[in-house]
Each structure stands twice: as structure tokens, then as C-alpha cells.
Structure 1
Amino acid sequence: METQSPILESLPPLPFLFSFFFIVYLIAYFIVFRNWSPKIRPEASSCLISLAHGTPAVFLSTYAILADSSSGFASVNTRLQNSVLEFSVAYFLMDLLHYIIFFPSDVLFIGHHLATLFVFLTCRYVASHGAFAVLTLLILAEVTSLCQNLWTLANARRRDVEFAAKVYDFLSPPFYILYSIVRGFVGPYFVYRMGAFYISGAAEGLIPRWVWVSWIVVVMSAISVSILWISNLWVELYRDRTGKLEKKTR
């Protein structure tokens, strides 16, 4: 019989979790960033709810995986793992609402959020198995969240606030390196292991084939877009640093 975890008792149901992220967003928009330009206030507010989700999701997911001694690619979800999945569903629903209201033409991010929600929801409510794989992917996706959100906030203000420009310049190289390692090497390796397991038929009768195939497709697509994004940032950083060096040598 599964032992009830003390942490599980502190994870409320999905509607309450969504309300939490909704309130954090309102506080960010109307209080924390009230003096920021209307053009960047929505993005900054999105960063704040991402901060409220990312790092906690890493720790909760790690605990939920380690707390289950039988964790595997096809193992049944524990109650704690399902609660962590709901925590992330609540965040992505709130951020999806943010994009639909403020950036309805941003099809890439809206599609990303819908695909991510599909993975979480099918794992939680359809398959009821595979949370080990999905939560590990969540850890890999969110381990860079803190650095990325601070970098994004600094980027938003770097042209009109000198301190923000310094923070942006300081964070860019380590953030790019960490992101490149996680999304370019660790992530693809884990997806390879995940795909090899499912293709072997070891999850037959536990996770529907269309479910795990869709997970692989969604994750591989997300990783591909991430690699393209970070590659463009590396090129931009190289051009920027090269340009500054040329100015100093003149």
C-alpha cells in the first residue's frame, strides 16, 4: 500500500493551484511591475509565475521520483507524482491564458503550451503511468528556469536600466552554457532512452501506443526548437561581443 507523503498534503487540487498562479500573475501585473512599460508588463508577469513554478517543480518532481522505489518508464503514477503533474498543469493553463490574451499571434508559444499540457494531462488522466519519464523531462525543462527568467527580465529592461544591462551581460554566458548542455545533450539522451524503452514493447498494455508516441514527438519537437533558439542566441552573443571588441581596438 502506498504511504501518504507529508508533502502531498500540501499540494491542493488543480483549481486551487490554478487560482494560486492566477493571483501571482495579478500581483505581478498590478503591483510588482506596475511602473514598467505596458509593452513589457505582461512578459514580466509571465516570468514571475514561471519563477513560482520552475524551481519548485524541479524539487517536487525530484522528490516524487525518489520517493517511489519502483519508478520506471512504465511504472504506475503515485499520488504524489499526480499532484506534481497537476501543479504544472495549473501553471501552463495560466501561462496559456496569458498568451491568448496578450499575444494571440504567438502561435509557437501557444502551440508549445498546448502540446505540453497534452503530455501532462494524458500522463495524469489517460495513461496513469509514465510519470517518471514525464517528470524527469519536466526537471530537465525547468532546471534552467530561475536563470532564464532572471535573464529575460534583465533583457526586457537592459536598454533603459544600466543595472539590468549588467545583469544581462553577466547571466548570458552561464545561462547559454547550462541551457545548451541540458537541451542539447542531456535532454536528447534521456529521450533516446525513453524511446528505446517504449519501442521495445516493455510498456505494452500499460501505456497506449498513441500516448507514448505522441510524448516522443512533442518532446523531440520542443527540444529541436530549443536548440534552434539557443543557437541563435549564441550567434547574437558572438556578434555583440565581437562588435564591442572591434570598437575598443579602434
Structure 2
Amino acid sequence: MDFGILISSLHNLPIFFSMFFVIYLTAHFFVFRNWSSKLRPEAASCLISLAHGTPAVFLACQAIFTDPNHDFASANTDFQNSVLEYSIAYFLMDLCHYLIFNPSDILFIGHHLATLFVFLTCRYFVFHGAYGILILLILAEVTSFFQNIWTLASAQRAESKFAAQVFAVLSPPFYALYSVVRGFMGPLFVYKMLVFYLSGAADTVIPMWVWVSWICVVVAAISVSILWISNRWLDLYRERLVILDKEQKIR
């Protein structure tokens, strides 16, 4: 590997990281300054997630559609590399947040480290395969806007009637969208990736240990996502049962 090329290619990453750092500080000390000190860090994390998620979806879509080589082994374009750097910067910033404020949250820290491994190896080690990685990024972040609004509403619903209403209204459609994307579309796309890599078509540009690692990370992430959304559906079911029970007692 030419480390001179590697160092010169890092010029976007500090800029993107600085942007997310400023957004995080702005959220912590200004946007959510009236929130309790316990909730402010989580809210700040949600704001940088909002700044990353939806823009990343549009950027990744543009990076894919402007590349004529829709192939799991095709070389990364400059635009695709920039989108990867954008996401790397976000996950680095959010990882810092978890290490400082939630060091015991091993699940999220592990998720961020695994995701960074995939993005970093694709961007700075093999320089190929961004097409598939960006599709996965789209599938992961297409629900980001709703999830962050849902998370903020959940954090405030005990103190705000409006937040409680937003949480109640948003939960079913958000759960449904998340279930379709993570429970059906994600696994289907990973299956297509696996079939392609097993054919050996990418072996000359993406070492086997790299793509095997990618598949393992994505399968683990999807499995955790399915478990998470299953628990949310169960929580919603239990909450509805409690409401029905109260209504029956009133009658």
C-alpha cells in the first residue's frame, strides 16, 4: 500500500468529522440546553444522526446512479469515497459520544466499531466494493429520520404530552418501515452479495477475508436489528393491552 496516497486521501475526513463535532456541541449546549443533563447527550447524538442519516441516503443514491459500473467488485469512484468518508466521520463522532457518556453500552460500541471496519477497509484498503456497501448504507439509514424523531419523542414523553403523542402516532408506521427494510430488503440484498462473492468474481480486488468479514458484520447487524424491532413490536402490543384493560375497567 502507498501510504503517501493514503495520507493524501484523508483530506475530507477531518472536515466531515469537524462538522459533526460542531453539530454535536451545538446540540448539547444550545439546541437541547433546556433538557436534563441526563438526556442531553442522547439528544445530541440523535441530532448528529439526523445530520448524517438522510443526507447519506441521498448522497449514496447519487454516488451509485452516477457510476455506470454497478458491480460488487467495481472500483470506488471519488464520489463514492467521499460518501464513505462522510459516514466514517459520523460513526467516529458518535463512537466518541458512546465511549464518553455510555461506555457500558457494549452493543452500540461494537456496532460502531464493526461498521467502521467495513467502511474503512472499503475506502482505504481495497478501494473496491463501495457499490454494495453504499446500498447497505441506504438500507440502514433510510429509517434514520423516523428513528431519531422517535427516540427524541421517547426520551421526552414522560415530561411532554406532545412528545408522548408523537411517540404514539409515529411508532406503528416506523416499526412497519423498519421491519420491511431490515427484515426483508436487507437480508435479500446480503444474499445477493454473498452469491456474488462466493462466485469468486471479486477475489482479484477484494481479498476473501475482507468480504467474509463484511458479510459477517452485516449479518450480525441485521440480526440485532430484527431482534430490536421484534422487542419494539412486543412493547407496543403490551402497551395496547394495558390501554384496553384500562378502558374496560372504566366502562
TM-score norm. by structure 1 comes to 0.95
Q: Which residue of 1 is the match for residue 13 of structure 2?
A: 14
Structure 2 matches for 1:175-194, cutoff 5 A? 175-194=174-193
Residue aligning to 1:197: 196
The residue type paired with residue 73 of structure 1 is F
Aligned equivalents of 2:71 and 2:179: distance in 1?
Answer: 26
**Distance in 2 (alpha carbons) for counterparts of 1:72 and 1:62:** 15
CA shift for structure 1 position 192: 0.3
Q: Show CA shifts across 1:212-231 (max 9, x none).
A: 00000000000000000000
Residue 47, structure 1, aligned to residue 35, structure 2: no
Separation in structure 2 between the aligned mates of residue 71 and residue 25 of structure 1, nearest angstrom: 35
Aligned partner of residue 74 in structure 1, secondary structure? coil
Counterpart in the other structure of 1:90: 89
1:36 matched residue in structure 2: 35
Q: SS where residue 116 of structure 1 aligns? A: helix
**TM-score, with structure 2 as normaliser:** 0.94
Counterparts of 1:245 and 1:111 in 2: how far apart (Å)? Answer: 39
Once the two structures are superposed, residues 120-169 of structure 1 have per-residue CA deviations (whole angstroms, 9 ceiling, x without a partner) of 00000111000000000000000000000000000000011000000000
Give distance in 1, aligned partners of 2:189 and 2:196: 11
Query: What displacement does 1:204 show?
Result: 1.4
Q: How many angstroms does 1:32 deviate by? A: 0.4
Counterpart code for 2:163 = A
- 1-structure distance, mates of 2:98, 2:220: 20
| In 2, Cα distance between equivalents of 1:84 and 1:181 | 25
Distance in 1 (CA, whole Å) between partners of 2:213 and 2:88 is 17
- 1:47-76 deviations in whole A, cap 9, x for unaligned? 000000000000000000000011211100
1:102 corresponds in structure 2 to 101
Cα deviations across residues 35-54 of structure 1 (Å, max 9, x unaligned)?
10111100000000000000
Percent of residue pairs bearing the same amino acid type: 68
Deviations 1:169-228 (A, max 9, x none): 000000000000000000000000000100111111111111100000000000000000
How far did residue 78 of structure 1 move?
Answer: 0.3
Q: 1:130 — aligned with what? A: 129
Output aligned runs, 1:155-234, within 5 Å. Answer: 155-234=154-233
Alignment-derived partner of residue 56 in structure 1: 55
Q: CA deviation at 1:249?
A: 1.4
Aligned to 2:140: 141
